[in-house]
Structure 1
Amino acid sequence: MSCEHLICAQCSNPVVEGRCATCRAARSELHRHGPSVPPALILAILVALLFAALVLQRVYG
């Protein structure tokens, strides 16, 4: 979704212009570029990989 066609309910201007605090907040929310995978999930995957590596090392070591 982009904000180029959205109109602010507070100031009635295009959100893309960011004229009021509500526009700026909505624009920053839409353009947030954070990780899409939660950090807890990444940590769980890393722990599982570490466990698998330790098991494989014990079996083949």
Structure 2
Amino acid sequence: MSCEHLICARCSNPVVEGRCPTCREARSELHDHGPSVPPAVVLAILVALLFAALVLQRVYG
């Protein structure tokens, strides 16, 4: 859901413009998706786990 087509009941302006406190609050709730992990970090963790698995396989295999 996006706020592009929503109209604020308080100021009658598009919510995306954020002209009043109600608009800004609604816009922040719609666009706040929580903390996200960048794909590069996920890739780095996966590479590190793969490397660790290969090292452990060589040591104990």
* Superposition TM-score tier, normalisation by shorter sequence: 0.5 to 0.7
TM-score after normalising by structure 2: 0.56
For structure 2, list consecutive stretches of 5 or more residues without a partner in the other structure. Answer: none
Task: Provide the identity percentage.
Answer: 90
For structure 1, list consecutive stretches of 5 or more residues without a partner in the other structure. Answer: none
For the aligned residue pairs, the C-alpha RMSD in angstroms reads 5.0
Tell me the matched-pair count.
61
Alignment of 1:1-61 (within 5 A): 1-35=1-35
Q: Deviations over 1:5-52 (max 9, x none)?
A: 000000000000000000000000000021599999999999999999
Between 1:12-21 and 1:26-35, the stretch displaced more is 26-35
